Amino acid sequence: MGVLTALLILALLVVVHEAGHFLAATSQGIRVSSFNVGFGPALLKRQRGPVLYALRLIPLGGYVAFPDDDPDSTIDPEDPDLLKNRPLRQRALVIAAGVLANLLFAWAVLVGQGVIVGIPDGFDATGGVLVTAVQPDNAAARAGLEPGDKLLAINGESLGGGTSAVKKLVEAVKSSPSQELQVELQRHEQSLNLGMVPADLGGNGRIGAQLQPAGVEHFSRPSNPLQIIKQANKDFSAIWSRTIEGFTALATRFSETAAQVSGPVKIIEMGAQLADQGGASLFLFAALISINLAVLNALPLPLLDGGQFLLLLIEGLRGRPLPERLQMAFMQSGLVLLLGLSAVLIVKDTSQLSLVRQLMGN
């Protein structure tokens, strides 16, 4: 059930992104030929007026197609309602609308969390540190840690409870790269002891697990709509900041952070873990992925919205578009890069999931 929920959330985020492009175009009277979720052959399709709506085989995104891109189109190339014939600012709005739609949706999800779940109102720590997710092929996974484990002590020393317990564990891990740590934990009323060797990441230890204080988080009904909006703004700002920090680290310290990049298989697995927890976790997962999708698409890379925006920027500075052959070369290189990266990440994630199942079965 958790996997299905994660898949539905990812599909919804793709629809939201492409709907941003679609609505920005149609609201300005720009011709659109198709609205697609996925790539490749169509599994389901329906023609409504001039627009074809299609669900396609490969679930790695989606796209809105315009008659400008169809060499067999019977529409006059000089038609003022073609995207390419519209002013620069209108085309820029169409391109930027997908990113804006994902950001707006993330904020709306966080508002929905306040309405449905409530506003965070305290936390009762029960002692220990809860493992909420484990990254495959990292120290935590190799040691046999599982989501739901409660870590109680490290090297025979009690961790205590609350945020101080998490801090104590993190400091012990960071100060022990390549050194074995003995961890005492509780799993389904069973006490276990595991040996864990943090990886050496630039002189700091890392185990590849998401942690939070063990306990019960309480939520209260908001007293007024302003309280909901204030909390949504706070959560949005926190997720946005961490997302930007993550992408910046990937760009500036690629060799150190590349191993942490996850593809669609891993994202679905983590989403399933959070979906099984229910409550606020599901809302935060949807907002987190939506903001990540927005930032990713804003990067100035071929085939992404940021790459198309870069071409528009160059056109604005030059006063005319780049030669068509250069634009085609730019986009084709992006297609090869995107398909290659997707294939590598899917293979990487799938092999890591198989490894984790073997570890958990031993």
The per-residue pLDDT for 136 is 73
Would the pLDDT of 362 be above 50?
A: no
Does residue 108 carry a pLDDT above 60? yes
Q: Work out the average pLDDT over 32-49.
A: 94
Give dist(CA 336, CA 222) in Å, integer.
49
Look over the chain and give the mean of its residue pLDDT values, rounded to a whole number.
Answer: 81
Phi, psi of 278 (to 5 degrees): 70, -170
Q: Provide CB contacts within 8 A for 47, sequence distance 6+.
A: 53
Report which listed range, 60-64, 180-184, 275-279, 320-324, is most confident: 180-184
Higher pLDDT, 6 or 314: 314
Res 344: pLDDT = 39
CATH class of 122-220: mainly beta
Query: What pLDDT score was predicted for residue 361?
Result: 34
User: Which residue is listed with tokens 């986009």?
Assistant: 331
- Report the distance separating Cα 177 and Cα 197, nearest Å: 7
Contact 267, 260 (CB under 8 A): no
- What is d(CA 292, CA 244) in angstroms, rounded to the nearest whole number? 9
The answer to whether 106 and 320 are in contact (CB under 8 A) is no
Q: What is the pLDDT of residues 144-203, one digit of tens each?
A: 998 888 999 999 999 988 888 888 998 999 999 999 999 999 998 899 999 999 988 778
**Exposed, middle or buried: residue 80 (CB in 10 Å: 0-12, 13-18, 19+)?**
exposed
| pLDDT for 130 | 86
3-class secondary structure, 210: strand
Counted residue by residue, the chain has a size of 362
Residue 43 has pLDDT above 60, yes or no: yes
Decide if pLDDT at 139 tops 60: yes
Say how far residue 74 (Cα) sits from the centre of its chain: 39
At 337, is the pLDDT very low, low, confident or very high (cuts 50, 70, 90)?
Answer: low
60-89 average pLDDT score: 90
pLDDT (0 to 100) of residue 73 = 86
Residue type, 322: L
Statement: residue 226 has pLDDT above 90 = yes
Q: What is the largest CA-CA distance in the chain?
A: 77
Q: Which residues are catalytic?
A: 18
Query: Using CB atoms within 10 A of its CB, is residue 257 exposed (0-12), middle (13-18) or buried (19+)?
Result: middle
CB-facing half-sphere around the CA of 330: CA atoms within 13 A: 17
Mean pLDDT, rounded, for 48-53: 94
Nearest to 131 by CA among 200, 183, 204: 183
Instruction: Please check the confidence at residue 339 and state whether its pLDDT lies above 60.
Output: no
pLDDT of residue 251: 63
Q: What is the mean pLDDT of residues 292-307?
A: 84
Q: Which of 28-37, 296-305, 330-339 has the lowest mean pLDDT?
A: 330-339
Q: Is 80 exceeded by the pLDDT of residue 287? A: yes
Confidence of residue 335 (pLDDT cuts 50, 70, 90): low
Beta-bridge partners for 183: 154, 194
Domain locations in the chain? Answer: 91-118+229-362, 122-220
Query: Helices 305-318 and 88-116 meet at what angle, rounded to 10?
Result: 150
More confidently predicted of 254 and 142: 142
